[in-house]
Chain A
Amino acid sequence: MFKLRDKYAIAGIGNTDYTKASGRTVRSLATEACLKAIEDAGLTVADIDGIVSFNFNDSAPAIGVATEMGIENAGYAVDYAAGGNGANLITLAATAAIEAGLAKNVVCFRAMNGRSGFRLGGGRDLSAYGVTQYTAPLGWITYPQAMAMWARRHMIDYGTTEEHWAEIATTFRDNAVINERAMQRTPMTKDDYYNSRFIVDPFRMYDICLESDGACAVVITSAEHARDLKQKPVYIMGGAYGGGPSQGDDLFDAIRWPSHSHNCFKYLADDLWGSAGIGPEDVDVAEIYDCFTYSVLMALEGLGFCKEGEGGPFVMGGRIARDGALPLNTHGGLLSEAYIHGFNHVIEAVEQLRGTAGARQIKGAEIALTTAGAMTCGSAMILRN
């Protein structure tokens, strides 16, 4: 296991506005977020010698963003072919690059016109090659349709109900209401949730995350260097990337998945906690990948916050609210803040650990968890102040 603990830190963060129609190129969004993160760290573009991103739908190539910023020789420039699983993967890749001596200050970003450009939930890609030849012709095309199949199986195996999902959706919306960055700030009641229409049964509209235009970026550097910079360093305590046996074709690689009642996080848990040297009980605040209400349960169970199948009861009774034992998605998450493919979770975790989250601030937050991914492959990171 890579001995990660406290050797690297997030020194700067930056993000654009989150909108439905940016009216801008994705590269311009990416560059804005990166420049803000670099400035936030107290660095200049000349200090940056590495750049990493991930893309599944539209994005801006790392080297193109480096070029726009005026970096003529980014020694480490990588684009990962990853979706929602990639948000912590790229930060961990940055630490590996620094560890290997390939770079000193790495900017990581995710940028997308996810509403006005390529809509990931829109199902416009109707090609039926590879594994999708067994799915798309059946009318099984979109992410909500893919994940609803898993959610149904969890209901069958464990009696998970829509009441559990309603609790997640309304709790996250409560957090978004007081978040000036959030796209969806209208208060939501349980009745609002139950009255929303079914998109793909068992998922209603409010079980499904937003579609957003925007970009997020962070700067990663050595802990030693970070201590000399402008912001209070947020240290990377641990992290893990991986998954279990699947075809690796993303959306529908679930056919051969061992059990549809757990996901990648079961396979990540030991590496994640082992690298950080802590356990779930030590986490003060968690930003969990919530492309769907239901995916939160999978992550909580897989990472050992509760036993497999007990995620539903676990989130009830205010436990995940801002004043609960385990505040979750304090910014509103992908469901109510914005869908920047999980990278906005990293931004929020850093804000919480810096103590700069304003009305959303969780008192005494010292250790934060971020997760990315909802299906067979994912990543997670533990941060501390």
Chain B
Amino acid sequence: MQQTAYTKPLPVPDSESTPFWDGMREGRLMLQRCASSGEFLFPPVTFCPGSLERPEWAQASGKGTVFSWIVVRHPVPRDIYADEVPYVVAIVALDEGCRMTGNLIGIAPEDVRAGMPVEIAFNRVTPEITLPAFRPSEG
């Protein structure tokens, strides 16, 4: 049986982001942390803002709360997202202190609330790429 090709945008890992995407593929949320300030960073950088040090990588809990979200109802581009709408994209405030992006799954769009606890889910879309998603958690 022929497998349908994945047609949505795929991330192109670079020298800063490869550990993040490697972690996603392995089912671990890997984030950067500034060694001197302890601050977690997202998206990845080469130099920590302020200290200008090279960040270290650490595994994060994957737990957080919904900071903001949108419900995409009009598909853009239509040919790619017509069958996907409505879908939810969120910014999540992670327990580690930084924010990151992900789709919200396992919940109806109209039930999403600000501040609701969520946890990371690993959305495997190709053998190489697993996208970050979040689902409601007990908190």
Contact = CB atoms under 8 A, between A and B. Distances in A.
Given A145-B72, A149-B68, A260-B68, A138 B43 contact: no
B102 A138 contact: yes
B13 interface: yes
A255 B11 contact: no
B89 interface: yes
B43 A131 contact: yes
Contacts of B67: 153, 260
Interface string B63-82: 00001111111101100110
B72 to A, nearest CB: 5
A245 B131 contact: no
A133 B71 contact: no
A198 B17 contact: no
A134 B101 contact: yes
Contact of A198 (B11, B74, B98): B74
B72 A139 contact: yes
A153 B69 CA distance: 8
B108 interface: no
B134 to A, nearest CB: 11
B119 to A, nearest CB: 17
Contact of B8 (A137, A142, A198): A137
Contacts of A141: 9, 76
A201 B71 CA distance: 5
B130 to A, nearest CB: 10
A138 B104 CA distance: 10
A121 B12 CA distance: 23
Contacts of A132: 9
A339 B75 CA distance: 22
Contacts of B103: 138-139
Nearest to A140: B89
A182 interface: no
B77 A123 contact: yes
B47 interface: no
Interface string B92-113: 0000001111110000010000
A138 B131 contact: yes
B42 to A, nearest CB: 7
B70 A148 contact: yes
A140 B100 contact: no
Interface in A104-152: 121-124, 126-142, 145, 148-150, 152
Contacts of B138: none
B68 A197 contact: no
A202 B102 CA distance: 18
A338 to B, nearest CB: 21
Interface string A230-244: 000000000000000
B128 interface: no
A137 B49 contact: no
Contacts of B17: 133
Given A200-B72, A202-B70, A255-B101, 15 more contacts: A123-B76, A134-B43, A136-B9, A138-B131, A138-B132, A139-B72, A139-B81, A149-B89, A152-B68, A152-B69, A199-B74, A200-B70, A247-B43, A252-B101, A255-B43
11 contacts: A122-B76, A133-B13, A134-B101, A135-B89, A137-B125, A152-B70, A156-B114, A198-B73, A200-B73, A252-B101, A255-B42
